[in-house]
Amino acid sequence: MLTKRQNLILKSIIEEYIKTALPVGSKRIQEVLTMEVSSATIRNESAFLEEQGFLEKAHTSSGKVPSTKGYRYYVDNLMESNNIEDIKVQINEIFKKRGATIDEILEKTSSILSEMTKLATVVATSEINGELLLSKIELIPISSKSAVVIFVLSNGAIENKNISLDSISLEELRLSIDLFNERLINSKISEIETKSQAMIPVLRQQVKKYEFVLQTLIGALIHTDSNKSRTSGVKYLLENPEFNDAKKIKDIIQFIENASPFVWFNYQSKTNKTTVAIGLETGNQNDDIAVIGTNFPTKGGGKGALALVGPKRIEYDKVSKLLEWISNKIEEKFLLEGE
C-alpha cells in the first residue's frame, strides 16, 4: 500500500488530469494538495509512483498522467462521492412523469447523462429466452485477416460474428471455440454468461487474449432477438481530446457497437451496484477506453444494463454514484410500484 502522502499526491494528479486532460506538473500538484509538501518531495514521490506503475510520463511535457493501474487504484481506494445533485434534479423530473415507459425514461436519461458527462451512453435490455439452447459453434476462416464465428441455436436460428485477426490469432480463436463447444453446447442461452465465467481459469491458460474472446464471443451469443441495445451521445464522447484522430474514433465506435454491456461487467469484482472496467480490462486493445455501468432487473425476470463509455479520465466518483442512484430509481418505479 502507498503512504498517506503518496495517496494524496496520486489522488491530486488523477483528479487534476480528469478535469483538464493535461499532464500535471509538480508546481500544480503543490497548489492543489491539502497538505504542505515541498516541490522536491513531490518530484521524488511522483517518480516513485511512476516507477511503481501508477503514473506515466507525458511525451510532450515534464508533467505526469495516470496509468491504468493508477486509475484502478484510485477507483478502489481513493475516490470520494462528488456533487451530482444538478444532474439528479433533471433526471428525477423524468422519473416523475406519469405514464412514462421504462424505454422512454432510459432514452431521456441517456441523453442527459451523455450531454452532461461528455460520455457515450449504452442501454441494453435482455429478456428471458425460455428453453432456447446453444446447439453448435463453428469457425470459418475468411482470409488471413478475418474469420466468422457461427452460433447455431436450438430453434434453428443462426448468429454470426465477424472477427478481425488483427485482434486475435486464428489459432487462439480455434482453441477458444473448441473449449466453448466442449463446455457450452446444449446450455440454455440464459445460462451462458454464468457458465462462461467458470471457464475463465482454463481459458486464461490457453488463450493469451482471453478477455477479448469472452467480451466478443459471449457478447455476440447473448445478443439474440430478445435483446435490445441503444447508444446515444457519441457526438459528446468525441469532444474528448483522447479521440482526436480517425483511428481512435473508429476504435471506440467499433468497441461500443460490438461489445455487450452485460459482458463488460461480468468479469469484474462486484462490491456495489456499479462496476468499472479500465483500459485493457474492457477486453479492447485500445488502452484509452473506460466503461462504468450498472445492471438492473426488468419486469418478467429479464435484466438491463446502463453503461457510460469514454476516456480513462471519467469522473469515476461522480458517475458511479449517479448510476447507482439511477439503478435504484428504476427498481423503485418499475419493480416496487409494479408498473
Question: Per-residue pLDDT tens for 284-323?
Answer: 776 788 999 888 877 656 678 899 999 998 888 889 889 9
Q: What average pLDDT does this structure show over 172-201?
A: 87
- The predicted structure's pLDDT at residue 225: 47
- The predicted structure's pLDDT at residue 9: 93
Give me the residues paired with residue 228 across strands: 125
Return the CATH architecture of domain 85-128+228-336: 2-Layer Sandwich (3.30)
Q: pTM for the full model?
A: 0.66
Burial class (CB in 10 A: 0-12, 13-18, 19+), 42: buried
In the structure, what pLDDT confidence band is assigned to residue 269 with cuts at 50, 70 and 90? very low
Does residue 268 carry a pLDDT above 70? no
Yes or no: say if 15 and 64 are a contact pair by the CB < 8 Å rule.
no
Mean pLDDT of the chain: 83
In 3-state terms, what secondary structure has residue 77?
Answer: helix
Lowest mean pLDDT among 18-22, 66-70, 244-248, 289-293: 244-248
Question: In CATH, what number does 134-221 get?
Answer: 3.30.390
- The predicted structure's pLDDT at residue 132: 74
**What value does the CA radius of gyration of the chain take, rounded to a whole number of Å?**
22
- The predicted structure's pLDDT at residue 301: 62
Q: What average pLDDT does this structure show over 114-142?
A: 82
Report the distance separating Cα 270 and Cα 322, nearest Å.
17
**Would you list the domain boundaries of the chain?**
4-78, 85-128+228-336, 134-221
| Neighbouring residues of 266: CB distance < 8 A, sequence distance ≥ 6 | 193, 196, 197, 214
Of residues 260 and 84, more confidence is placed in 84
- The predicted structure's pLDDT at residue 267: 41
Does residue 5 carry a pLDDT above 80? yes
In the structure, what pLDDT confidence band is assigned to residue 227 with cuts at 50, 70 and 90? low
Yes or no: say if 230 and 256 are a contact pair by the CB < 8 Å rule.
no
Right CATH for 4-78 from 3.30.450.20, 3.40.50.620, 1.10.10.10, 3.60.40.10 = 1.10.10.10
Does residue 175 carry a pLDDT above 60? yes
With cell 475516490, the residue in question is: 79
- Give percent of the chain with pLDDT exceeding 90: 22
Lowest mean pLDDT among 65-69, 267-271, 295-299: 267-271
CA dihedral sign of residues 133, 208, 229, 72? positive
Residue 240 C-alpha from the chain's centroid: 17
Tens of pLDDT, residue by residue over 37-60, are: 888 999 999 999 999 999 998 766
- The predicted structure's pLDDT at residue 174: 92
Query: What cell numbers appear for 146 in the block?
Result: 478475418
